[in-house]
Structure 1
């Protein structure tokens, strides 16, 4: 029983850590993509002027 509880706790902790890593990676990717889009808009605006 004790071993089962231990394994479930480590499994849940591992799943939570993996989810946190995935979420952070997606968040960073979105931020970078948004920054690139902003740079493109800035360059286009500079060319128009």
Structure 2
């Protein structure tokens, strides 16, 4: 039986990475850590490349 590979976008990979760090190091729930991860990434993406 051949299974189809599941596509995961680069954005979702980044969200999952940040979410895992937040979940491991804070008392946040999975939903709260995901919401905060999305806010953090949105903020980081708005910082000009020269500043990063």
Tell me which interval the TM-score lies in, with the shorter structure as reference length. Answer: 0.3 to 0.5
The normalised TM-score by structure 2 is 0.37
The normalised TM-score by structure 1 is 0.40
Q: Which has the higher helix share?
A: 1
Greater C-alpha radius of gyration: 1
